[in-house]
Amino acid sequence: MGTRERRERSNESDRSLLSLFYSAAQEFLEVKGEKGVALAAVGGYGRGELAPGSDLDILILHQGQFSKEKLAAFVNALLYPLWDKYSVDHSVRTQSETGKASTSDLRVALGLLDIRLIAGDPNMVAGVLYENLKTWQRNSRARLPELKTSMAIRHDRAGELAYLLEPDLKEARGGLRDINALRAIALSGSVPVPLERISWAESTLNNAREALHTVTGRNKDRLLFQEQDKVAAALGYSDADAMMSEVAKAARLVDYLLEYTWHLLDHKGRDGLGRYLRKPRTVSVAKNISVSNNEIVIDPLISFSEDPVIGLRTAATAAQLGLPIALETCALITQSLINGTGTLPTPWPREARENLISLIGAGESMVRIFESLDQEEIIFGWIPEWRPLRSLAQRNALHHHTVDRHMVETAVQAAKLTRKVHRPDLLLFAALFHDIGKGGIEDHSVRGERLIAPLAARIGFESADVTVLQILIRHHLLLSATATRRDLDDPATIASIIDVIPDLNTLELLHALSVADGEATGSTGWSDWKASLVSDLVHRVRSAMSGSMIAEQPALTQEQLVMAQTGVLTVNLEPHTSGYSIEIVSPDKPGLLSLVAGVLNTARLDVKSARTKSHGKSAVMYWIVTPEPHAPEMTQVKLRNEIVKAFEDSTLVEEKLIARAKAYSTIPSIPVPPPEVVYFNNAATDATVIEVRSHDRPGLLFRIGSAITQSKVDINSAIVTTLGAEAIDTLYVTELGGGALSNARAEEVTAKLRLALK
């Protein structure tokens, strides 16, 4: 079974029709030779792709010179002998009628793009081909949106081929009709389409369809579960799972190229605001990365060996902005991994890990980017452990997706829960790799626990974090299984969880992972009833555990204490793996955190972490910052001068931040969960703790500090952490005269914070 057999099947049909055509034309139309009438193949038959049960799609062309009676007799004589052997779909038209039908009926227009002469007047067929192609190209601006709409309706009806237990090989998303759509788009000349990339996918799907027709003896395109073993055997696969994995890979490749092609069409010649441009506008959005033609591109002449993190940064930026990566840029990243210039050191630097977490945490827009990394085989260069999971089939009613896509979908669901946990980076990483152990004979949770440790260590997680990740992978089914199978009123049930979950932070993460995994599985494996049982179980376990998840106030070194006693502004700036480490000792004053954060932001220094602590009349601050693209070089003297200016007139900082916010507002962004602001009045003896969990953005810490200052509250200490694209800020605040806030005051302050972060 294969292309040769389908071509020979088409040739055999041609021979049968050829003999019948000339015999019927001579007898009923009194036509000899090749003038005035023609027989043409269209659609799949026109391409020479006949499967055993395929219809013969034919067009009978004439010049209108025959009577209806003669024409009917000719058609009957031509078709009648075929009906016992073939299913025939035919039409009888003049060239003019064919043109009108093509204009009014999209399917006719698409079928005529593959028209091929079988017998008769070649000039008539050539004329139809020429006129239809010219019309298709001329009217492409109207016809292609019509094509896209019709495909969306078909996809809604037939689903995604790659992720269906019983897919329609022709009609489903990523199927054979979509391949034909790509050809039609290419023929329109509107945008370049890399058709050569789908030849393998087309052959794979056509072979499966041909085998399905052969083993069932019927013209059918839906690959039912009970027929998959026979079809796999006919095609020489080891089993049905292996075949369905190949079918899924083919469908995903088709869908990937189709999505990319539609993006090019939708944004052709436009900027990020949808306006048409004579020349594409290029906007820098990250170090060595820009947006051009609504795609993420790596800037020209960039050395991967000098910036090996650029590939991951490109993917993270694309996901966070909701834009695709240009195919040319994907090719550059792929080549850098092949020649070794883009290889990351072991362990990964912090920036690489943070970019991976930003990619995973982008929610829905992460799916398209991760699919690009998969299709371009980039992800295997960074994470070779992903390759065995690629399109790994799960042929059961519980899972809708292949293993790898299920893990991606779990990460999408986890991104919605990042405000619910104190370590969103661990949640997102665990979500993406929770089923890494599948594909072997061993229990996938046990195998996954073993596989995740070297992977997480290589990516740069600390040993304590690796241990937490191992627990999450090993026990990702624990809460769901316990909640639905054990008596929650039995103390032994609660004890069984505490025996394997060591602390509140791990419990919090495991709960979120359970929800994300369940939501990604779908209604067959997750329900409101199960979710409520799991929540009840977690509440009971939490009540039985001790400890706190709130970040502790930083301790000052003896040297810092001595410096704080002087009350003199001191700034120390040193190089750091992420950019700069900055230690600031300053006279304490209202709004100090906000002002320093504002100065750093206007200097285009992105805050990765901060630890601040008041001591007497001074405050000690330690910052880790990363320069943004095109940021001017920062020196110790320059930074101190900028802080002094801000102390003298804070409005200068505010004006610059407002201007920067306007500039950033023109860059596309993806939907993110709203910020979450909570307070705790029982977490410290002399202060109220306020936690802010938010998507990181320019000026975030300035807004937080400003809102606190306006509330006439002191910040005693602050712990600021950026994890991927998420920020968690913990503030220990007191009244101006000292002491924790009352509940009423805490509600007032947190309300102001929520308003400031909108």
3-state secondary structure (DSSP) of residue 647: helix
> How far, in Å, are 609, 621, 632 from residue 730 at the CA level?
11, 14, 30
Per-residue pLDDT, 165 = 84
Number of other residues whose CB lies within 10 A of the CB of residue 308: 21
User: What architecture is domain 388-545?
Assistant: Orthogonal Bundle (1.10)
Number of other residues whose CB lies within 10 A of the CB of residue 108: 20
Given a contact cutoff of 8 angstroms between Cβ atoms, the answer to whether 497 and 462 are in contact is no
Q: What is the dihedral of CA 325, 327, 331, 332, to 10 degrees?
A: -50
Parallel, antiparallel or unpaired: strands 55-62 and 87-94: parallel
Given a contact cutoff of 8 angstroms between Cβ atoms, the answer to whether 758 and 741 are in contact is no
What residues does each domain of the chain span? Answer: 3-138, 144-266, 291-382, 388-545, 561-756
Residues of the chain with pLDDT under 70: 1, 32-34, 269-280, 395-400, 665-666
pTM: 0.88
Spatial distance between the Cα atoms of 309 and 312, rounded to a whole number of angstroms: 6
Could you say which DSSP state residue 161 is in?
G
Spatial distance between the Cα atoms of 592 and 594, rounded to a whole number of angstroms: 5
- Measured distance between the N- and C-terminal CA atoms of the chain, rounded to whole angstroms: 60
Tens digit of each residue's pLDDT (9 = 90 or more) over 144-178: 999 999 999 999 999 999 988 899 999 999 999 99
Tens digit of each residue's pLDDT (9 = 90 or more) over 405-438: 999 999 999 999 999 999 999 999 999 999 999 9
Tens digit of each residue's pLDDT (9 = 90 or more) over 22-37: 998 888 887 766 678 9
**CATH no. for 144-266:** 1.20.120.330
Tens digit of each residue's pLDDT (9 = 90 or more) over 447-473: 999 999 999 999 999 999 999 999 999
3-state secondary structure (DSSP) of residue 91: strand
Spatial distance between the Cα atoms of 505 and 550, rounded to a whole number of angstroms: 9
Per-residue pLDDT, 758 = 84
Fold of 3-138: Beta Polymerase; domain 2 (3.30.460)
Q: Identify the CA nearest to 44 among candidates 36, 53, 35.
A: 53
Contacts of 607 (CB under 8 A, 6+ apart): 597, 600, 601, 623, 624, 625, 701, 720, 722
State the DSSP H helix or E strand holding residue 721, giving kind and residue range, or none if neither. Answer: strand 713-723
Given a contact cutoff of 8 angstroms between Cβ atoms, the answer to whether 170 and 44 are in contact is no
Could you say which DSSP state residue 723 is in?
E
User: What architecture is domain 291-382?
Assistant: Orthogonal Bundle (1.10)
Given a contact cutoff of 8 angstroms between Cβ atoms, the answer to whether 699 and 661 are in contact is yes
Given a contact cutoff of 8 angstroms between Cβ atoms, the answer to whether 256 and 405 are in contact is no
